[in-house]
């Protein structure tokens, strides 16, 4: 009887602090990434090697923010401490860490650090880089706003919790950070890199505001017992990230971004065949 009664007790006030602490850590990572990218920009002409180090620090901070973002909501659900305040705080934190910070990093590392300074021939390309970076921010906050609307209980069409509508902002920011981290923050010296980089950012922005589906992994229940093989696999993945973070994180980020594209294309090719089956039966 006492056990049943203890389970029905509401969580203590202190329990609400733990998910919020992860959210605050998320904001800290975003702010740290911004300051490190700013430091790198100041050191470009003085010490390029030190600038590369600060770019890498910024990319790593965004990577840690992705981890904290995944933990705050999951901890809140596990502890039964979800709240409207926590949801709003998380959304604002994501706008900073996965919207503004990666856009600033992408512009500083992939555009400003690549194009030669004071060269009129590259002014239009630099302006295009600034505009694309701004579009990345707009797409990320639009994606967050749509997610908040679809997550409210009063929403007329609530989306399947197992799927995200559009590329999640942490995944978009994670791809930017993984590419920067892959080279250790070292700047690309060829200006031909800039158009390719802008295409990557535009494609990522378009995926965020699209209606293409991405797996949310919210169906993974941490309270359930897992097979020993799963535990070993997770531990092995963690070890690979620790030892070969540059390659492994880029593969993970790229694979997740491409997964939504593959699913959409597979569905598009399969749909005409499904629609043609009833006609064949009638004949």
Q: So where are the chain's domains?
A: 15-282
**79 near 11, Cβ under 8 Å?**
yes
Give the per-residue pLDDT at 155: 54
Question: 């060269």: which residue's tokens?
Answer: 119
Alpha-carbon span 107 to 56, nearest angstrom: 14
Neighbours of 160 (CB within 10 A): 11
Element containing residue 217 per DSSP (H, E): none
Distances (CA, A) of 173 to 28, 202, 252, 265: 15, 13, 13, 23
Alpha-carbon span 187 to 265, nearest angstrom: 34
Nearest to 61 by CA among 180, 140, 177, 186: 177
Our CA dihedral for 41, 42, 48, 49, rounded to 10 degrees, sits at -90
End-to-end Cα distance, the chain:
66
Give the per-residue pLDDT at 4: 43
**64 near 82, Cβ under 8 Å?**
no
**72 near 79, Cβ under 8 Å?**
no
Provide the residue-wise pLDDT of the chain in tens; the chain has 283 residues.
444 444 445 555 555 677 788 889 999 999 999 999 999 999 998 999 999 999 999 999 999 999 998 887 777 777 666 777 778 888 899 999 999 999 999 999 999 999 888 777 789 999 999 999 999 999 999 999 998 888 766 555 555 667 889 999 999 999 999 999 998 988 888 889 999 999 999 999 999 999 999 988 766 655 566 566 767 887 898 899 889 999 999 999 999 999 999 988 888 877 666 665 655 554 4
Alpha-carbon span 227 to 55, nearest angstrom: 39
Query: What angle (nearest 5°) sits at the alpha carbon of residue 76, between those of residues 72 and 79?
Result: 135
């Amino acid at each position: 009887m006492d056990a049943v009664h203890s389970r029905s007790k509401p969580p203590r006030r202190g329990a609400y602090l733990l998910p919020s602490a992860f959210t605050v850590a998320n904001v800290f990572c975003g702010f740290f990434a911004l300051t490190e990218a700013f430091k790198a920009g100041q050191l470009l002409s003085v010490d390029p090697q030190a600038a590369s180090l600060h770019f890498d620090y910024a990319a790593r901070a965004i990577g840690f923010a992705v981890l904290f973002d995944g933990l705050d909501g999951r901890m809140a659900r596990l502890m039964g401490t979800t709240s409207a305040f926590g949801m709003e705080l998380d959304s604002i934190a994501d706008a900073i860490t996965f919207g503004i910070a990666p856009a600033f990093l992408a512009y500083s590392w992939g555009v400003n650090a690549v194009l030669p300074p004071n060269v009129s021939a590259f002014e239009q390309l630099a302006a295009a880089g600034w505009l694309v970076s701004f579009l990345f921010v707009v797409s990320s906050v639009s994606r967050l706003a749509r997610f908040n609307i679809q997550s409210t209980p009063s929403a007329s069409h609530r989306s399947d919790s197992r799927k995200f509508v559009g590329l999640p902002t942490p995944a978009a920011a994670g791809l930017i950070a993984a590419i920067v981290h892959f080279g250790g923050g070292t700047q690309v010296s060829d200006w031909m890199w800039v158009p390719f980089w802008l295409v990557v950012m535009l494609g990522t922005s378009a995926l965020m505001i699209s209606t293409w589906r991405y797996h949310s992994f919210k169906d993974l229940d941490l309270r359930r017992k897992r097979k020993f093989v799963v535990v070993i696999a997770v531990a092995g993945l963690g070890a690979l990230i620790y030892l070969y973070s540059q390659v492994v994180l880029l593969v993970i980020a790229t694979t997740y971004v491409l997964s939504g594209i593959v699913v959409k294309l597979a569905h598009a090719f399969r749909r005409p065949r499904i629609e043609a089956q009833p006609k064949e039966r009638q004949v």
